[in-house]
Structures are given as C-alpha cells and as structure tokens.
A and B are shown apart, each in its own frame.
Chain A
Amino acid sequence: MPESSSPDVVTFSPSVDTLGVDRDLVVADLGYRNGETPDMVRELVDELLPQLPSHVEIRCGFRILPSGSIDVAADSVTANGISFSMGPIIASQLKRSTSLALFVSTVGPQMERWSAQLMAEGDMMKGFLVDALASEVVERASVWLEQRVVDHVTPRGWKITNRYSPGYCDWAVSEQQKLFSLLPHQFCGITLTASSLMVPIKSLSGIIGLGPDVKRGAFQCSICELKDCYRRRDDPEPAKEKA
C-alpha cells in the first residue's frame, strides 16, 4: 500500500522480504557463474541475508508528470521545461512516451554504516558482502517499484518503458540535479551532494517513459555502448546456483 500520495506522487516502504533478494543474484553480481562460488562466500551471504531487515530502511517512490508535458527529441527529453540531455540511446527508447515517471529508491543510511563498521573492525569480506547486498536490495527495490508504476498507470491505458538512470548509457551523472529538481525536496530521504552523488549512497534514481504506445525494450545494458561499465550486467536474471 502506498504510504502517502498526492494524485501522482507516491511513496512506499516495502519490506525487504517482499523484494526477492537472494544469494544467487548477489553472487552473480560479484562475477561468479555456473556454481563456481566459493563455499565461504555462499555461507557468508546466507548468514547476512537474514540480518537485512534490521539494517535496511527501504524507501521508494515516483512522480508521474502530467500527460503531454514532455517533448522527446533525438538526443534529449524536455519535461516541465527542463531539458535532459541523455543522449540518443535513451532518447530513442523514450520516443513514443507521452509522460514520464521520475523515480527513486534507497536502502537508507544504515547499510553503508554497517559495511563501514565491519571493515573498520578488520572484516573486509563481510563489509564488502554487505555493500554488495545493499546494491542488490536497491536494485530489487527498483524492480519492485517498476511494477507499482505499472499498477498506477494501467488504468489510464498506459504502458511503461525500461527505466533509465543518470550515469548510465552516456547520460551524465550531473543531470541528477535536474531530475531531483522535479521531485519533492529530499524525496524518500535522499539528498544530492554538489557532485551529484546521492546520499544514502545505495540509492537509485531515474526515469521511465509512459504512454499507450511505449514498450519495454531489450534489457537495459544490451542497448548501452559502455562495455566496461562497472555496473554492466550481461544477463539480467542469472541462472540459479545449486545450493
């Protein structure tokens, strides 16, 4: 259930148990494939997973812009008078959109404190795995939020595109400032530094194209030319490892 809403600004605080975070997704993001994950890593992830509820404070939400308020050009999108220079790759994916959902999701500040504390105590491995878990939780929260956007706009006869974030596919991180200018102040508890870094660090933001004629395209990373991106995923849903 949404926690608060104006007609088109909605926020949620989903429980981590509802997000489907599991060990296989985490170890796949670490690089392991085909059951080659060291037992120790699997065991540690299994030990940390049940501790997540006491360390995460998931908040996520979106704002739906009014229909017809956007203008999509070859390499940019103008929304509410603000021009996003996201480059031709993302702009082409949004071309049939009549509106945008601007979204954020965060795991809250406690996960990074937990990770830092473990590392300061000399347990680099656990600290690193907590960091990896936090990345997975915020990713899963964003996937969960996408479905909430679908639920919200389906009655209007709209569909959604993939989600796109500043910092990916040639869209400059600095454009976070424009994105956040269209959201309520400290939306979901997230602030931006002068260098456009979100605080808490384990947060995601971005846009989703909306409209009757849009469709989800290929998996986001498959359309991007940044082959060395540190967040690149070759496979959005890696095969499960054997327990």
Chain B
Amino acid sequence: MNELLESLTRCVERGKVDIKSPYPPDLKGQDGADEFARKALDAGIPPQEILSNGLIIGMQRVGERFRNKEIFVPDVLMAAKAMAAAMAHLKPFFQSDALKHKGTIVIGTVLGDLHDIGKKLVSMVIEGAGWEVVDLGTDVSPEKFLKAVDEHPGCVVGLSALLTTTMVNMESTVKHVKAKHPNVKVIIGGAPVTEEFALKIGADGYSSDPQGAVEFLNSRCTTN
C-alpha cells in the first residue's frame, strides 16, 4: 500500500487529527490525518483511493477494536475527528462525482426516546465506512422517517432505541416504511434490542455494535 495511505490509516486508527493535536502523545508534533490527506491529494492519489484504501480501513479497524472492547467511546470519537479532518479535503470531490458514497442511511432514535449519543456514535462509524448519513435526531415519528425515505430514494433506514418502552415504536416505524417502500432495508439497534426482536418486527438487520451495522450495510445494501 502507498505510504501516504498507510499513514492516513494509522492516523484515523490512532485518532491523530492534525500536526497541532497533542493526542496521541507518541505522535505529538507529527503530521495527522489533515496533513496526510492533503499530501495524498497533492501526490495525485485519486480521492476514491484515499477514501477506500486509507480512511475506511482505519475506521474499520477502529470499529473492530471497539467491538472487541480494546478501545472505548472516547477513542472512537477521536478517530472520527481524525476522519472528519481528512474528509474535509475530500468533500469537494463528492460534488464532482470523483468520489461516491456507498449509499445513504437515514438514521434516528424512534418516537418517545430522547437518547442520542449511541446513535451518534453508530452514525460516525458508518460515515467513516464511506456511507452518507442523514441523522434525523431523536424522538423521530414514523411519518418523519417516511418523509426522509421519500427524499432519499434507495436509502437504508437505521432505527435506535434505548428503552424497552420505546423499542416497541420500532415496529410501527418498520411497518410504516415497508408499507410504502417494501424494498427499503431497515436495521435496528440499541441496548434492549435483540436479533429475535428484529426478526419479529420485520426489520432486515440488527447489530449490537457500530461495526456490525457497517458490515450489514456493506454486505446487504451497497449499490456502488
């Protein structure tokens, strides 16, 4: 692999944002994701290659290490920040079609539930895997999910809930979406949710961790 891309992967994995960032201490004073992304573009590496063979690999390692409890939420947040610093350089290429997302996921915490952080964390890891994320926030009604699906043809829907009392609202959202868009895939997650529950309510996928959501999206929902 190209040395610049390897450096980018390492920066995302370690959460090294830019040269000014003192974190992690052993990389203090060294270039971060920000600088390496710029250098990679200047070196003529295609944006898609920078994303696919540099950034996404780094974020995938982060997702796997988080799943294995080798790292924790703050580490994922730093990785996402490093990823975002690099993505700022790549953003213009999405408009020119030189760079494409793998697809779009419309994500939100279901009606009645105000918990936001877990859903945000999943969103970051999914975004780091090359997907466009449309975050509808918390306490999202089935109607609001449906409107977003109408606005993003071909999207996947992600539902989050933290309480047993609100996860029941996942069922009505799935029914609402599937009634109008039977081919739209729905993945669900959250502390009380299980695979059995996902099957029961007609969802297409379930994951207990962010990387599992990425694996579902990449294996079952990619169009590009």
Interface residues of A in 83-133 (CB under 8 A from B): 116, 119, 124-125, 128-129, 131
Per-residue A-contact encoding for B13-24, CB less than 8 Å = 1, 0 else: 000000000111
Whether the pair A124, B163 counts as a contact (CB closer than 8 A) is no
Whether the pair B120, A197 counts as a contact (CB closer than 8 A) is no
Cβ 8 A contact of B165, one of A30, A39, A124, A174: A174
Whether the pair A197, B112 counts as a contact (CB closer than 8 A) is yes
Cβ 8 A contact of A38, one of B23, B114, B162, B169: B23
Cβ 8 A contact of B74, one of A125, A173, A174, A196: A125
Whether the pair A128, B73 counts as a contact (CB closer than 8 A) is yes
Q: Which residues in B have their C-beta under 8 angstroms from that of A230?
A: 162, 191
Whether the pair B117, A131 counts as a contact (CB closer than 8 A) is yes
Whether the pair B164, A201 counts as a contact (CB closer than 8 A) is no
**Which of B37-45, B77-85, B172-180 lies at the interface with chain A?**
B77-85
Whether the pair B77, A173 counts as a contact (CB closer than 8 A) is no
Whether the pair B69, A31 counts as a contact (CB closer than 8 A) is yes
Q: Would you list 7 pairs from A and B whose C-beta atoms are within 8 A, ordered by A residue?
A: A40-B74, A41-B74, A125-B77, A197-B113, A197-B166, A199-B114, A230-B191
Bound together, the chains give a CA A229 to CA B193 distance in angstroms of 11
Interface residues of B in 109-145 (CB under 8 A from A): 112-117, 120, 124
The answer, yes or no, to whether B72 is at the interface (CB within 8 Å) is yes
Q: Which residues in A have their C-beta under 8 angstroms from that of B164?
A: 167, 172-174
The answer, yes or no, to whether A243 is at the interface (CB within 8 Å) is no
The answer, yes or no, to whether A228 is at the interface (CB within 8 Å) is yes
Q: Which residues in A have their C-beta under 8 angstroms from that of B77?
A: 124-125, 128
Q: Which residues in A have their C-beta under 8 angstroms from that of B153?
A: none
- B side interface size, CB within 8 A: 29
Interface hub of A124, A125, A129, A201 (most chain B Cβ within 10 A): A124
The answer, yes or no, to whether A195 is at the interface (CB within 8 Å) is yes
Bound together, the chains give a CA A195 to CA B81 distance in angstroms of 34
Q: Which residues in B have their C-beta under 8 angstroms from that of A116?
A: 116
The answer, yes or no, to whether B25 is at the interface (CB within 8 Å) is yes
Known A124-B80, A195-B113, A197-B114; judge A129-B163 contact (CB<8 A): no
Interface residues of A in 169-214 (CB under 8 A from B): 172-174, 193-197, 199, 201
B169 to A, closest residue via Cβ: A195
Whether the pair B23, A39 counts as a contact (CB closer than 8 A) is yes
Bound together, the chains give a CA A193 to CA B166 distance in angstroms of 11
Whether the pair A40, B23 counts as a contact (CB closer than 8 A) is yes
Cβ 8 A contact of B72, one of A31, A193, A199, A228: A31
Bound together, the chains give a CA A141 to CA B53 distance in angstroms of 48
Q: Which residues in B have their C-beta under 8 angstroms from that of A219?
A: none
Cβ 8 A contact of A173, one of B116, B117, B163, B169: B163
Which 8 residue pairs are nearest across A and B when measured between Cβ atoms? A195-B112, A31-B72, A230-B191, A40-B23, A195-B165, A41-B74, A173-B165, A196-B165
Q: Which residues in B have their C-beta under 8 angstroms from that of A125?
A: 74, 77-78, 81
Known A40-B22, A128-B117, A173-B165; judge A30-B112 contact (CB<8 A): no
Bound together, the chains give a CA A228 to CA B124 distance in angstroms of 22
Q: Which residues in B have their C-beta under 8 angstroms from that of A30?
A: 72-74
A112 to B, closest residue via Cβ: B114
Interface residues of A in 226-243 (CB under 8 A from B): 228-230
Q: Which residues in A have their C-beta under 8 angstroms from that of B74?
A: 30, 38, 40-41, 125, 128-129
A231 to B, closest residue via Cβ: B191
Whether the pair B208, A194 counts as a contact (CB closer than 8 A) is no
Bound together, the chains give a CA A40 to CA B77 distance in angstroms of 12
Q: Which residues in B have their C-beta under 8 angstroms from that of A32?
A: 72
Bound together, the chains give a CA A129 to CA B74 distance in angstroms of 8
Whether the pair B72, A124 counts as a contact (CB closer than 8 A) is no
Per-residue A-contact encoding for B34-63, CB less than 8 Å = 1, 0 else: 000000000000000000000000000000
Closest CB-CB distance, B33 to chain A, in whole Å? 16
Q: Which residues in B have their C-beta under 8 angstroms from that of A197?
A: 112-114, 163, 165-166
